[in-house]
Structures are given as C-alpha cells and as structure tokens.
Amino acid sequence: MILTARYVLPVVGRAIENGAVVVQNGRIAAVSTLDELRYWYPDDEVRDFGTAALIPGFVDAHSHLEYSTMGGIFEDVPYAPWKARIVEKSRLLTPQDWEDAALLGAVQALSAGITAIADVTQTGAPLRAIAATGQHGVIYREVITPKKCDVEADMAAADRDIQDWRAFAADRDMLVRVGIGPGSIYAVHPEVLRAIGEYADEQTPVAVHVAGSREEADFIRYGSSPFALAADSEESHAYEGLQSDTFLPTGVSPIRYALNWGILYAPEVVAIHAICIEPGDIERLAEQNVGVVACPRSNAKLGNGVTPLLAFRDAHIPVALGTNSPAAADSTDPLEEMRFGLLLQRATSGDKGFLSAHDMLRMSTIDAARLIGMDKEIGSLEIGKRADIVAVDLSNSMQVPTNSPHAAVVHSASRNDVMMTMIDGRVVYDRAEGFSLPCEAERDDVDAILRRAEELRIRLRD
C-alpha cells in the first residue's frame, strides 16, 4: 500500500512535498515522492490524504491511562488540593473501574495519533488496555510504600507483577517493555528508592516523578508543605496512611534526595516533570544519563511551573513530551502539548535559546521513542521500521502551501485533525470510519467503552 499526502515528515530528515510512504507486511518499505514510488510500486493501492501531513505515530512518554475518566471531575484548583482529590476519588474505584478507565484512555490516545505509551500503574490495567488497542509502550510497575517494614514485601509483589506482565506481553508478541518506579517521592519511604535502584537492570527501566512541584520541593528540603502530616491540612489528611510519619527534612533538592537514595544510579532512568531544578541538579542528571519527560499543559494548569527544556538540551540530556493524564490536562492531545510547550518555552527562555516546531515534533516522536528504548522500531518514517503512521489534516490550517510543514502541524493542528492512525501497517483509527481495534478487543466495541466511562464519571462526580 502507498500512503500519500501533501507533506511527508519523516522527522529525522527533511520534509517531502507530495511525498509518500510504502507499507508492506507491517513495515515501512520506502519513503520518497509519490511520483517515484508509483514508478517502483506500480501495482500498489494508493491512499491519498490530500492536504495533510504524514508523520510518525506519536509516542506519549508519560501517561496515567487509569485516570482517564477523571478529566473535568475536579474544580479548577492548584496541585496540592488536586492531588488530594485524586487520592480520595481513587479509593472509590473498583478493579473493573480501573480496567475500564485505562481502556478508555488507550482508545482516546488512538484517536489523537498516539501509537506508543509509557504508563505508570500499580494494577497493570494499562498493559491490558494497550494489548486491546495494539499500541506499543513501556509499563512501569509503581511501588507506593510509606512504611519501611513493608518495603521488602511490596518489592517482592512488584517483582511478581513485572514477571507476569512480561509473560503477558510476550504471549501476545507485543512491543512492550516492563519497568518499575516509585510513587511520588513525598509519599514513599526512601528505602523504596534504594530498593528500586538496586533492583533495576538494563532490562528494567525506571520512571521517577521528581521535582514536579514547589510543594514537593519544600517537603523534601524543609518538611513543610501541604503534604506534611503536621500541616493538618486537607491535603495532608488525604495522605493519612499513605505517607511515612517518620520523614525528616533533608535540606536538599528533590533531585539530590533521589540521588542520595540511589534510584538515579539505575542503568536506565527517566525523570518525570523535573521542574523545581536547583544549581547542580542538571549536572547530576547528565552525569547519570537520566532522561527527562515534560508535561507542559498539566504542569501549567496545576501551577507547578515550567520544565527547563533548553537547559536540559544544552546539557545533552534527552528530553521528551508526555500528556500526563486527562485528570490533569483534561484531554489527551500531543499536538496541543507540543504547541503549548513550544510557546511556553519561547515566552520564558528570553535570550537563552529558541526551540523550533521541528524540535517539539521530535520530542513527541523519535526523541520519545529513544527515551523509552524503542527508537530502532518506531518514532520516525524510515525504511524497515514499523509502519506506525499518522495522517494530520492541514486543510483548515490556512498555512498550506508552506515552506515549513513542521510548523504548520505544530502551530495549527489538534487531535481533531487526526485523520488516520496506523499501527504496524494496520489502520486502527479512521476519522471517517471510526475505530478498528485488534481482535482481542472486538468484544468491547468503542460505544460500550464510552458508555461505561460515562457511568463511572457520573459516579465520581457525586
């Protein structure tokens, strides 16, 4: 099959006007102009997307699919009360609720052009969700243990889950890695960080939420924030039983705290958010080859701040973009994430540098794929890679024809402009035709998924 559009954006090379991609046996067989590929593949069916761009499937480098039914549930509040409400609402969910929410999130991601997801979970529901939708990704087993006496048992339980999840993925021939990560570092005993650092190896990537808010930074350094049990606040009460009552102020930054407890010495670590960065933190992350994932929209909405992407890039730290979750950003939209993140960086960077639209597109494709260890298979339109391809409509962009199709995509498009999502050469979402999920998910049509999600949202609002 030949896919063609006004622009083809391989991401790793120059844009191709009137370009095309040949897909054979689930892989990319050729990338060039339509005229050339028609000559070499005269018998192949041609699907023309018109005034659109063909780009690699988006790689969401950080998400929480299980919170997909919580978008819009909470009033417009800053991080600390928002987090407290997340904890409270989570206690109301049944195991089936988590499964339904994760499947909803995976389906929503498909229609936004997301073909690979890095997700953090305790239940494993996101793994089963992407098995149903055909997406690739990394699933991190989250360990949330506030008491030292429980660390050994909880790490053993995590190890059992990791082995089970790997077997599940292998049985289904999924392009999925399974890793591990702690809960919020203000909500786990520091021995969890040490245990994860010792447990992780080259086959077990680590994701750690760190330096994500001023509240966290104050708690780690001073022991004083809305999350401190002594604060007697709504937020601290939400964490009763979920936070160590023996925590003592450390006098250091969250990055330094994580380093001191050994988790950043693991072979493959991704730092999620990394907003509250202090002198010396960037150098320490660079020394340990730690990657960074920024979630611009959710962090801005919750008042957490801005990840210093330019400073990380200057230090040769790999960076990628994530959507976090609809509970924080209210929608799953990698294109909005790119645009907002780009404008935010430009508005705050002054004379420190200038990120381009192409830079941001890379952070949601090839750079994100490299960060999760999958760049040999996905993340760009190159011969031999999996045919994970997205068609983005540019007919309403008012920027075509253009000399900068990367900018046209990033500055004018949103999830509503995604015309088609293909994974492994199979169309799983078509704006005109709807979803075509792999056979494992045929028992759950999308309408049923949406109905269950609406029922759950109604229950959570009460």
Domain annotation covers residue 137: yes
Q: How many domains does the chain have?
A: 2
Predicted confidence at residue 439, as pLDDT, reads 58
Same domain flag for 145 and 50: no
Predicted confidence at residue 234, as pLDDT, reads 58
Q: Which residues pair with 84 in a beta bridge?
A: none
Domain annotation covers residue 363: yes
Average pLDDT across the chain, whole number:
92
Domain annotation covers residue 321: yes
Domain annotation covers residue 441: no
Residues 6+ apart with CB under 8 A from 374: 59, 116, 136, 138, 175, 177
> Binning pLDDT at 50, 70 and 90, where does residue 443 land?
very low
Mean pLDDT of 157-185: 97
Distance CA 320, CA 58 (A): 11
Predicted confidence at residue 269, as pLDDT, reads 98
Q: Which of 347, 371, 395 is the last residue of a domain?
A: 371
Domain annotation covers residue 267: yes
Least reliable range by pLDDT among 47-61, 85-99, 359-373, 444-458: 444-458
Distances (CA, A) of 376 to 200, 212, 382, 385: 22, 30, 10, 7
Token pair, residue 272, equals 């999620």
In the predicted structure, residue 237 carries a pLDDT above the cut 80: no
- Phi and psi at residue 423, to the nearest 5°: -125, 125
Residue-range definition of the domain harbouring residue 303: 58-371
Q: Which of 371, 402, 423 is the last residue of a domain?
A: 371
> Binning pLDDT at 50, 70 and 90, where does residue 297 land?
very high
Mean pLDDT of 219-247: 64
Same domain flag for 332 and 306: yes
Predicted confidence at residue 239, as pLDDT, reads 55
What percentage of the chain reaches a pLDDT higher than 70?
94
Predicted confidence at residue 444, as pLDDT, reads 56
Mean pLDDT of 169-178: 97
Cβ–Cβ < 8 Å for 228, 235: no
In the predicted structure, residue 227 carries a pLDDT above the cut 70: no
In the predicted structure, residue 441 carries a pLDDT above the cut 60: no
Mean pLDDT of 73-101: 88
Predicted confidence at residue 235, as pLDDT, reads 55
> Binning pLDDT at 50, 70 and 90, where does residue 448 land?
confident
Q: Which of 345, 371, 397 is the last residue of a domain?
A: 371
Residues 45-57 have pLDDT tens digits of: 999 999 999 999 9
Distance CA 406, CA 7 (A): 9
Predicted confidence at residue 33, as pLDDT, reads 98
In the predicted structure, residue 242 carries a pLDDT above the cut 80: no
Domain annotation covers residue 322: yes
Same domain flag for 44 and 72: no
Mean pLDDT of 134-145: 96
Predicted confidence at residue 454, as pLDDT, reads 83
Out of 60-74, 100-114, 229-243, the most confident range is: 100-114
Q: Which residues pair with 270 in a beta bridge?
A: 207, 291
Predicted confidence at residue 411, as pLDDT, reads 96
Predicted confidence at residue 438, as pLDDT, reads 79
Predicted confidence at residue 334, as pLDDT, reads 98
Same domain flag for 292 and 202: yes
Same domain flag for 384 and 366: no
CA atoms in the 13 A half-sphere facing the CB of 148: 6
Q: What is the pTM of this model?
A: 0.94
Domain annotation covers residue 128: yes
Same domain flag for 406 and 325: no
